[in-house]
Amino acid sequence: MNMRVFYKSLLFLLGKFSLECITVNVAAWRTADQSTTYRHWFAQNALDGLGSTCTHTDEQSDPWWKLDLMKTYSVNRVTITNRPDCCSDRINGAEIRIGNNSSDLFSNPVCAVVSSIPAGPTYSYSCRGMKGRYVTVNIPGASKILTLCEVGVYVVGNLATGKFTTQSSTYKLWFAEQAIDFSPGFIQPSSSCSSTDIQTNPWWRVDLRYIYRVSSVVITNRLDCCPERINGTEIRIGNSLENNGNNNPICAVISSIPAGVSSTYTCNNMEGRYVNLFLPGDSKYLTLCEVKVYGEGVIKQADLVLFRKLIMIYSFQLQSALAERGISDMNKEMTMMLGEPTHSSEL
């Protein structure tokens, strides 16, 4: 199977993703694991957004479930949804751990111990910013069964890191992504700040890819010249792309930022996927040397769920396109690529 051909056919049909976007996310698709799996109660079932599909280990000593976040995060809290149908007390005594050791999970520090959860509800456990790449749930003892219907991992930090940025126009090589490159560019702003060309109503946007609760936005102004150009820039946060996202609610309006200074704007947990900087007026440049977006967000496999739905919608066209390229069994290839389908309904 030529994966490149396969991706290209997909991309052609979906027309919504970039190659980078899909390949990057492949890594995030296979992040959950458990000590043993009972029938079809897979480890990923705790991440599909559905409280009705659950994970289930065999009866064993010290069963565990593990989520690999793929990098270190500060974990604010972890939520666990217990099974609704029976045996709710099996969860009693489960330990939630956060740390970096993937082989010896029991060496990672404990964030909380579940005393009990009734059948069905979701309980939240505070982890106070504990840092680690792996989140695990384990039940110490002999003859135990671990079942989790949903696990939510809420992380805090700079949500803009590595996300997709865009701007209304680009001045020379002052690309949009240079505003989130961790370099304020005081020495060579052209290679580490973003800037639009001179225009009416310039804007810059970062797509956080999930809906987050944004607590604050930090903006670093340029050092080399013209700090007053940033005066009047609006910070907007929301889920709409109407008017390129510039109609979303306002968190703050920047009155001014001195040259080379980073100013923090509090957004009181405004919810949104898009963070825009919008500068209304004629003959304006919008230049940003660093933008950081702090807040709390849940880590999910939502991408995979959305991807599957798109595949289902486009499956007919996809099948024809693949057949032309000599690939006949789409379902088999999809299963090889993505694992067993999860069950979800709405788009």
Ligand X SMILES: *[C@@H]1O[C@H](CO)[C@@H](O)[C@H](O)[C@H]1NC(C)=O
- Residues in contact with ligand X by the rule CB under 6 A: 72, 99-101, 103-104, 107, 109, 131-132, 228, 231, 255-256
Q: Mention every residue, 6+ apart, whose C-beta is less than 8 A from residue 339.
A: 29, 30, 42, 44
Give CA–CA dist 265/199, Å, rounded.
25
Question: What phi and psi values does residue 112 have, to the nearest 5 degrees?
Answer: -160, 160
The Cα–Cα gap between 335 and 330 comes to 9
> Which residue lies nearer to ligand X by CB, 103 or 143?
103
CA–CA distances in Å: residue 251 to residues 24, 176, 268, 270, 271 = 31, 21, 8, 8, 10
**Shortest spacing between CB 265 and ligand X, in angstroms:** 16
Residue nearest to ligand X (CB): 256
CB of 261 to ligand X, least distance (A): 11
Please classify residue 260 by burial: count the beta carbons closer than 10 Å to its beta carbon, then call 0-12 exposed, 13-18 middle and 19+ buried: middle
Residues 216, 156: Cα–Cα separation, whole Å: 11
* Gap between the Cα atoms of 135 and 32, Å rounded: 10
Backbone angles phi, psi at 283, to 5 degrees: 50, 55
Closest approach, Cβ 42 to ligand X, in A, equals 26
The minimum distance between CB 299 and ligand X, in angstroms, equals 16
Least Cβ distance, residue 228 to ligand X (angstroms): 4
CB 255, min distance to ligand X, A: 6
Pairing of strands 64-81, 203-220: unpaired
- Comparing CB distances to ligand X, the nearer of 191 and 255 is 255
Structure tokens at 327: 């690939």
